[in-house]
Structure 1
Amino acid sequence: MSANLFRGYCLHSLSRRLFILIASIAWLLILTPIADAQTAGNQQVFVSATFFKVKPGKNEAYVDMVKNTAHKVLEYRFKQKAILGWYFYEVLMTGDEEKKYDYVAVTVSTNFADLVEYPTPTRDLYMKAVSGAPKDGFDKFVAQINDLRTLVKREVYIHRAGINENTPVSKYVQIDYMKTVPGKVQDYIKTERDVYYPIHQERIKLHALTDWGLYEKLLPVSINADSDFVTANFFDDLKSLIDPKYEEAFNNIPHNVDFAKMTEMVEQLRKMVRSDIWKLVDYVDQNNTK
């Protein structure tokens, strides 16, 4: 699955300068690179994010159907070791002027092909997962859920840094969308791993975050895409948006650098496009499924 006072649209100038200085300071530290996703067998981890817009007046019915029926299908897939986890979020705020989506379903897996080829449950999977389902149960489920919401978009990401798989599920996540400068992708990944992540680790110790992750978008491919990376900043208390504890984390890291030069270096790698705030509604993973 960076964070600073909802940076996409409500970050005041002082916090912005502090964030840049922190990243700049850490740039010169000699740090051990952070490995990619650490799972059983050190397999690479992929994430599918599906965005939905709920039809007017259908919010409660949609959430009930997801929690009571879709949950069973995803729980079955988890028990069959087809996925590592599934997380269903309500979108509280987005950085867009128009809120284009209301909910996001996130599926985590080591099987890239499966995430791409089977974005929704198949009839066979539904019948196995939903005990006692009638023969026409799948068709009714599809018709009912399509009457409640519309699909906005689907994206598939590869995990690049961060995330402690033993961290309990967090109540909130801030998604920051990043656009890298052409030719600077590898430099940007290194910056997130070697510069930002150690600062976030300090913030986790200070209880401002519970976890953090960096993801690179693989699909869909578009030369006009406004972002090609996201960072996920997990926390349990919305006060973390007001007091992100960057300054305390900064003070825990030795520094002696030319601020202006380092600031320029960081800004030449990427720009922050916007931020979302999501709230967890339902999930399936090792924390609640055996």
Structure 2
Amino acid sequence: MKKSVLTLFLGLFLFGVVLAQDSRYLVFEFIKVETSQMYEFIDYKGFMEKVYQSAVDDNKILGWDFWSLHSGNDTGEFQYITITYYKDPVSMMNGLTEEDLLKYAKLADPQMSDNQIKEKFDQAFATHDLAQRSYMQQISNTKDNFNMKKGVLASFDLMKASEGKFQDYENAEKEVFMPIHQGRIEKGLMGSWTLLRTALPFGSEAKSTHLTMNMYSDYMQFFNAMEYEDLESTAEQRAAVEKGLKSRDQKWVYLATLESTVR
């Protein structure tokens, strides 16, 4: 079974190379910062924002987000989430090299020497620990014009498709749940929704296989969406929802606020 799951993941990932122009590839980094390092880390965040802006301007990456975490599996495990957006899986896996970071830091602050930049990076990386990194591919999303700006709220839901129901789960998200989210967006109860498939790690022992990004303009919209009940849904639709829920295990839900975004 492990071999078959690995083969499925690898096949889907390689197929994504062909369809790269129709998708986005995202790297999530879950970051832990000790209280004593918080001030230095915030300074690092401001520095990296400029570096990533240079990388966007150079078309090396598509964007970068910095999120502060409010709730999740264990908020002591990490407090921040960053997302780096790439145009294809090869760029995603290569990431930004040390040479890239040096180049873009130099573009962001031409007055700094190479040694000063390297010292700045050494000091910056010492302020935090990378608790987890996830490589993901966007495979479905709602039609919307949501404005990603500082202060928006997101619910990152980590899912694991039930064994033997990988395709059933993806079909349920696209055919059952996405129309529900689209309806909420049209009613002003949600901003945006995206389904992502995990590219790495592979195998049946992976903690999660998918992630959904649920965007809200603020807490008011978020709580209104939580309280909304679709009284017009049919028995057939409710049965489809129930079947879809059984195709996956919702591992954790992380609620976060967007602190910075670079596009």
The interval holding the TM-score normalised by the smaller chain is: 0.7 to 0.9
How many angstroms does 1:194 deviate by? 1.4
What's the secondary structure of 2:183's corresponding residue? helix
Match of 1:78 among 48, 56, 60: 56
Q: Which residue of 1 aligns with 2:11?
A: none
What's the secondary structure of 2:104's corresponding residue? helix
How many angstroms does 1:262 deviate by? 4.0
- 1:125 maps onto 2:104 in alignment: yes
How many angstroms does 1:245 deviate by? 5.5
Counterparts of 1:204 and 1:159 in 2: how far apart (Å)? 19
Unpaired runs of 5+ residues, structure 1, are: 1-36, 286-290
Q: Which residue of 2 aligns with 1:213?
A: 194
Q: Which residue of 1 aligns with 2:10?
A: none
How many angstroms does 1:167 deviate by? 2.2
The change in CA–CA distance for 1:270 and 1:72 in structure 2 (over 3 A counts) is same
Per the normalisation by structure 2, the TM-score is 0.82
What's the secondary structure of 1:75's corresponding residue? helix
Q: Which residue of 2 aligns with 1:145?
A: 124
Is the Cα contact below 8 Å between 1:206 and 1:245 reproduced in 2? no
Is the Cα contact below 8 Å between 1:43 and 1:110 reproduced in 2? no
Counterparts of 2:173 and 2:112 in 1: how far apart (Å)? 47
How many angstroms does 1:127 deviate by? 2.2
Amino acid paired to 2:255: I
What's the secondary structure of 1:216's corresponding residue? strand
Is the Cα contact below 8 Å between 1:91 and 1:279 reproduced in 2? yes
Counterparts of 2:237 and 2:122 in 1: how far apart (Å)? 60
Unpaired runs of 5+ residues, structure 2, are: 1-15
1 or 2 for the larger relative contact order (CA 8 Å, sep ≥6)? 1
What's the secondary structure of 1:145's corresponding residue? helix
CA RMSD of the aligned region, Å?
A: 2.5
Counterparts of 2:241 and 2:54 in 1: how far apart (Å)? 48
Match of 2:185 among 200, 204, 213: 204
Q: Which residue of 2 aligns with 1:167?
A: 146
Question: Quick one: percent identity of the two aligned structures?
Answer: 21
Counterparts of 1:222 and 1:190 in 2: how far apart (Å)? 20
Q: Which residue of 1 aligns with 2:261?
A: 283
Which segment drifts farther, 145-154 or 217-226?
Answer: 217-226
